[in-house]
Amino acid sequence: MNTPIYVVSGFLESGKTMLLNQLLSRSEWQSAKVGVVQFEMGETVLQGCVKSLMFSMEQTMSQPELVAEQMAGLIASERPDALWIEWNGMVAMEQLYKLLNASVLKGKCSLKGMLLVGHAEMLPNLLGRTGPALLSQVAECDCIAMRGQIDRRLKAQLKRLNPGVKLLQFDAYEAIQRQLTKEREHAGSRLSLTFLLLAGIYLLVKAVLNAIGIPADTIVNIFLGIILQAVPFLLIGVLLSSVLQILVPQRLIERYFPKSIGMGMLFAVLGGFLFPVCDCASIPVFKGLLRKGVPLPAAVTFMLVTPVINPWVIVSTYYAFSGDLFIVASRICFGIITAIFIGTTYIIWPAGDNLFRETRYEEILCSCGFYEDTTDGKLKERFWVVMRHAQATFFDVGKYLVIGTFVSAILQVINIQNTLGVYQGAGAVVVMMCLAFALSLCSSSDAIVARSFLSQFSLGAIMGFIVFGPMMDIKNVLLLSSSFSKHFIIRLLLTTFGVCFGVVYLLSKMGGM
Amino acid sequence: MKFHFSMQSILEGLSEAAFAITLFYLVASDRYLSYVTPSVKPYLYFTVLMLLLWAVSSGKMKRLTYKTRYAHCFVLLLPLLVILVPHKPIQTNSRYSDTSAFFQSEPISAMSIDQQASVYFDDDEAIASPLEAVAMTTLEDAVVDNQVEESRQTEARTEMQTEIRTVAQEDAEKRVIVGNDEFYNRLNAIYRDPSHYNGYEIIVTGFVLNNMDALDEDTFIPARLAMVCCAADLTPIGMPCKYKGASGLKTDSWVTVSGVINIGEDGQPFIDAVDIAPAEPVEAYVYPY
C-alpha cells in the first residue's frame, strides 16, 4: 500500500504543531491510523496518532539513510492510513524529497499535500531574507495557512511565486483540511486539456480573423518564420550564458576583463563583431555578463551593439542594399556610436541597485537549484548543470519570445506601415524608429524590409529603422522583462530611443542622407 | 515515487521531443523553406539535436519537485500547435498589394561580378523544391498552349529537364529559359549585363504584379516572392514586362511570359511580351542567398 504523506511546514513558533493537532483532532482523522514524523525538536503531537517519530535537522542532514530507514520501519510496522510530516521552515523542501526518494521508502509512500504555516506580518520580511528554503516552500505548497491580515501586496508576492496557491486563514481548519487532502488532477492530463483548449481557441481565432478579412495564414507564416529564425539563436544565447555563468569562474572575468571602462566598452564592441547572433541571443548573454560582474556600461554596450554589427547583419545589409558599402558602413558606425553613448550614460548616471526584478525569486528558484557552488566539481556534473540551467533559462525567456513574436506578426499583417503618411526630417526618423520597435524584425532580416521604404522615406529615416530596431523592440523589451526591473528597462528604452535619434538625425544630416 | 517527483521533467522532455521531431520533419521534408531560408538549415538541425539531448536526458537533469509546473512547456507546444494546424504558404503579393513600398524594379544584386561564372554553373545553389516537377510541367504546358513550333518545344523540354544550361547554350540560341529554381540567378545575370542579353528570348513564370503606382498602364512584373531571412521579409522581385493589356491582367494570378529582352531608356532591361499564358502557382520562394 502506498501511504499518503501530508507535510506541514513553517518556522519555529509559527504554530504548525498546534495546527497539526487541530487538524488531527477533526472527525475525519478520529478513526484513522495516523503516523507523525517531526523534523524539529519541539512540542510533540499526541492526538490521534499511532506513533510519532522525531528527528533533529542535524540528524536528518548527516544521516539521511538512518532517518529514511526509521520512517520505513514505521510504515511497515504500523501501516498508518496517513503519515503527517512536520517540516522545519529553514530547510529547503528538496531535502525532504531526497529523503522520500531514498530506496527504502520508494514506492511505500507518496506526497499528497503540502501546507505552509506563516504569519502575515512576518512572512514578507522572511521571504526576502531567508534564502531559498522558505521560497521553495512557498513555491511548492498547495496552500498557506496564515495568521493575521493578508494584504494585497503579500498576496501578489505569493501568487507570483506560486500562482496556484490557496491562501487561507490559520483557523479555517475545515478549508485547510479540504485543500490539503483533495484529489489533485494529474499534471499530464491538465497539460493535455490545456493544450486541447488552446487548440480550440486557436482555431476559433483563426476563423474569426479570416472572417474579418485579416489573412490568418499570413500571420502564421510570419510567426513561424520569426520563431524558427529566433529559436536556434535563443538556444545559442542561453547556452553561452549558462556556460559563462557556471563554467567561467568570476575571478577569471575580474582578472581579465579590462579594468578601465573605456577599454571595457571597446572590448564590448569587438565582442559584438565576433558574435554572430541576433538580439535573441545577446540578451541572455547580457544577463550572464552582469551576473559575472562585468560593469554595466560595458555590458549594455555589448548587448546593444551586437545585433547591429554582427557579421550576419553586415552581410544581409550589404545584400539588401545591393552592395552599397556606404550604407553598410553607416549602419555599423551609427550602431557603434549609439551603443557607446548609451553605455556612457550609465557611467555618468550609474543605474543603482534596482537592476533586476525587485526580489530575485527567479534566480533563487532557478530550477538548477544551487548553482553558486558549481564552478568546482567534476566536469561531467558541471556539464549537466549547464544544460539544466540553459534549459530553465530557455523556457523562462522563451515565453516572452513567443508572445513578442505573435504581436509582431499581427502588426506586420495588419500593415501598419501603410497607415503611415509622408514624413520629413526628424519626424520621419521618429516614425521609422517607432515602426522598427513595433515590427520587431530579426536584425538580419530588417535591412531588406527597410530598403523597401526607400521610396517613401529618406535614408536618414531608414538608418533610424535599422539602427534602433535591433537594439530595442517589443520582443527585446519582453525578453528583458524576464529578469530586469521595470525601472531599468524603461530607462534603457528611453535612453536608447533618445540617443539613437540624436546620433542618427545629426549624423545623417551631416552625411547628407 | 520517482515518477511523481520528476513529472515536470517528463512533461518538459515530452514537449521538447515533440517539437524536435516536428522540426526535424520540417527540415528533412524541406517544408521549413516556407518560413526561413536554406541558410538557417544547420541552425535548425542544431536546435533539433539540442532539444533531443534535453529530452532524453531529462532524467539526468531531473530536479526533485512536488508541484508540477507545466505552463512553460507551451513555449514549445504553442509553436508546435501552429505548425501542426494546416496552413497555406504566402503565395503572392496580396499582402503588399496596396503599397508601393515593396516594389522593386530589379532583382537585387549583391554578388560581385567576378562571381558570375561560379554562380552561373553552381547547381548546388538551386533550391530543391518539392513542387519543382509540377512547376516544370506547367512551364512546358504553357509552351504547348502557345503553340510554339514543335521542334523548339522538344528542345525546350530537354533543356529544362537537364536543368543546367550553359552560357554558351543560351548564347547560341539567344534564349533564356528561367527555370523556377533559377529565378534569381538568371534574372540577376541579365541585370548585371543587360546589353549582352539584349534581344534574347526569355521565358519566365511569376505572378502578375500590376497594381503599383510606379508602373505604367502597359507594364506589369511577372514576380516571385524572395525571402532573405524569414517569412517576415518576403518581397516581390522580378523583371518588368511591357504588355498592352498589362493593367487588364488579374493581379496575383500566375502567368508564364515569353518575350524578348529589351533595354529601356533608363538602361534597365525589360521584357517585350510576345505571349502570356496562365500558369500553375509556383509554391517555392526565391532565396537570393
Question: What would the DSSP string read from start to end of A333-379?
Answer: HHHHHHHHHHHHHHHHS---STTB-SS-HHHHH-TT---GGGSSS-H
Residue B95 confidence (pLDDT) above 50: no
More confident residue, B284 or B140: B284
Strand A49-54 to A34-38 pairing: parallel
A–B interface: beta-carbon pairs under 8 A: 221
Q: What is the pLDDT of residue B127?
A: 32
Q: What is the pLDDT of residue B100?
A: 30
Query: Does B72 contact A105 at a Cβ distance shorter than 8 Å?
Result: no
Strand B269-278 to B241-242 pairing: parallel
State the pLDDT confidence band at B62, using cuts at 50, 70 and 90: low
Residue B152 confidence (pLDDT) above 60: no
Lowest mean pLDDT among A236-250, A364-378, B42-56, B270-284: A364-378
- Cβ–Cβ under 8 Å, residues B82 and A220: yes
Partner residue facing A221 (CB), from B66, B89, B110: B89
pLDDT, mean of residues B159-174:
62
Q: What is the pLDDT of residue A368?
A: 41
For B49, residues 6+ apart whose C-beta sits below 8 A from its C-beta are none
Residue the block writes with cell 483557523: A171
pLDDT > 90 fraction of chain B, expressed in percent and rounded: 21
Q: What is the pLDDT of residue B105?
A: 39
CA distance B55 to chain A (A): 10
Alpha-carbon dihedral sign for residues A417, A420, A426, A430 = negative
Instruction: Count other C-beta atoms under 10 Å from residue B123's C-beta.
Output: 11
User: A90 by DSSP, 3-state: which?
Assistant: coil
pLDDT > 70 fraction of chain B, expressed in percent and rounded: 69
From chain B, the residues in CB contact with A139 under 8 A are: 67
- Cβ–Cβ under 8 Å, residues B218 and B248: no
Q: What is the pLDDT of residue A502?
A: 93
Q: What is the pLDDT of residue A377?
A: 63
Give pLDDT tens digits for A84-119: 898 888 887 878 888 888 888 877 888 888 999 988
User: A262 by DSSP, 3-state: which?
Assistant: helix
Lowest mean pLDDT among A81-95, A118-132, A198-212, B214-228: A118-132
CA distance A482 to chain B (A): 13
Residue A80 confidence (pLDDT) above 50: yes
Nearest CA in chain B to A410: B232
Residue A294 confidence (pLDDT) above 60: yes
What rounded mean pLDDT belongs to chain A?
A: 82
Lowest mean pLDDT among A357-371, B128-142, B169-183: B128-142
From chain A, the residues in CB contact with B88 under 8 A are: 217
Residues A121 and B225: their CA atoms lie apart, in Å, by 63
Nearest to B3 by CA among B42, B55, B54, B58: B58
From chain B, the residues in CB contact with A401 under 8 A are: 75
pLDDT, mean of residues B119-140:
33
- Asked if the C-beta of B235 comes within 8 angstroms of chain A's C-beta atoms, the answer is yes
From chain B, the residues in CB contact with A220 under 8 A are: 82, 85, 87
Domain boundaries, chain A: 3-181, 215-510
Q: What is the pLDDT of residue B123?
A: 32
What CATH number does the domain located at A3-181 have?
Answer: 3.40.50.300
Q: What is the pLDDT of residue A204?
A: 94
Q: Which residues lie across from A84 on neighbouring strands?
A: A6, A36
Q: What is the pLDDT of residue B145?
A: 40
pLDDT, mean of residues A287-292:
83
Lowest mean pLDDT among A3-12, A437-446, B136-145: B136-145
Which cell is B247 given?
493593367
Dihedral through CA A282, CA A283, CA A284, CA A286, nearest 10? Answer: 80
Partner residue facing B101 (CB), from A316, A398, A456: A456
- In chain A, DSSP finds a helix count (H) and a strand count (E) of 24, 7
Query: Does B81 contact A198 at a Cβ distance shorter than 8 Å?
Result: yes
Give pLDDT tens digits for A11-51: 877 788 888 888 888 877 777 888 888 887 777 766 666 67
CA distance A52 to chain B (A): 23
Residue B96 confidence (pLDDT) above 80: no
From chain B, the residues in CB contact with A318 under 8 A are: 110
Residues B224 and B91: their CA atoms lie apart, in Å, by 9
Q: Report how far Cα A205 is from the mean position of its chain's Cα atoms.
A: 28
Nearest to A480 by CA among A353, A357, A336: A357
Q: What is the pLDDT of residue A93?
A: 82
Strand B254-263 to B269-278 pairing: antiparallel
More confident residue, B197 or A448: B197
Which cell is B158 given?
530537354
Exposed / middle / buried, residue A315 (Cβ in 10 Å: 0-12, 13-18, 19+): middle
Residue B111 confidence (pLDDT) above 70: no
CA distances (Å), origin B47, targets A426, B80, B229: 42, 14, 17
Residue the block writes with cell 494584504: A151
Instruction: Count other C-beta atoms under 10 Å from residue A100's C-beta.
Output: 23
Lowest mean pLDDT among A141-150, B19-28, B64-73, B276-285: B64-73
Query: Does B82 contact A224 at a Cβ distance shorter than 8 Å?
Result: yes
Q: What is the pLDDT of residue B233?
A: 78
More confident residue, B278 or A258: B278
Q: Residues 169-228, chain B: which have Cβ within 8 Å of A?
A: 214, 228
Lowest mean pLDDT among A40-54, A369-383, B200-214, B215-229: A369-383
Lowest mean pLDDT among A296-305, A366-375, B187-196, B205-214: A366-375
Phi (first) and psi of residue B103, to 5 degrees: -70, 130
Residues A406 and A359: their CA atoms lie apart, in Å, by 29
Phi (first) and psi of residue B15, to 5 degrees: -65, -45
Residue the block writes with cell 483548449: A197
State the pLDDT confidence band at B97, using cuts at 50, 70 and 90: very low
Q: What is the pLDDT of residue B29?
A: 93
Residue A497 confidence (pLDDT) above 90: yes
Nearest to A221 by CA among B181, B89, B66: B89
User: A284 by DSSP, 3-state: which?
Assistant: helix
Residue A300 confidence (pLDDT) above 50: yes
The helix, strand and coil proportions of chain B, stated in percent and rounded to the nearest 5, come to: 45, 15, 35
Residue A224 confidence (pLDDT) above 90: yes
**Positions of E strands within A185-325:** none
From chain B, the residues in CB contact with A412 under 8 A are: 232
CA distances (Å), origin A288, targets A20, A293, A336, A487: 44, 9, 21, 19
Q: What is the pLDDT of residue B140?
A: 38
For A262, residues 6+ apart whose C-beta sits below 8 A from its C-beta are none
pLDDT, mean of residues B92-116:
37
Query: Does B289 contact A319 at a Cβ distance shorter than 8 Å?
Result: yes
Domain boundaries, chain B: 2-84, 93-278
Greatest Cα pair distance in chain A: 90
From chain A, the residues in CB contact with B63 under 8 A are: 94, 367-369, 388
CA distance B186 to chain A (A): 16
CA distances (Å), origin A293, targets A83, A287, A289, A296: 47, 10, 7, 8
Residues A230 and B180: their CA atoms lie apart, in Å, by 29
Partner residue facing B230 (CB), from A111, A114, A229: A229
Q: What is the pLDDT of residue B102?
A: 31
From chain B, the residues in CB contact with A243 under 8 A are: none
Residue A481 confidence (pLDDT) above 80: yes
Residue B31 confidence (pLDDT) above 70: yes
Say how many Å lie between the first and final Cα of chain B, rounded: 53
Phi (first) and psi of residue A39, to 5 degrees: -100, 55
CA distances (Å), origin B138, targets A96, B156, B184, B201, B225: 69, 13, 19, 19, 18
State the pLDDT confidence band at B289, using cuts at 50, 70 and 90: low
Q: What is the pLDDT of residue B229?
A: 76
Residue A340 confidence (pLDDT) above 90: yes
Residue B160 confidence (pLDDT) above 50: no
State the pLDDT confidence band at B166, using cuts at 50, 70 and 90: low
pLDDT, mean of residues A142-160:
85
pLDDT, mean of residues B52-60:
83
Q: What is the pLDDT of residue A203?
A: 94
Instruction: Count other C-beta atoms under 10 Å from residue A181's C-beta.
Output: 17
Which cell is B186 given?
538568371
- Using alpha carbons only, how large is chain B's radius of gyration in Å? 24
Nearest to A264 by CA among A302, A291, A310: A302
Residue the block writes with cell 578601465: A260
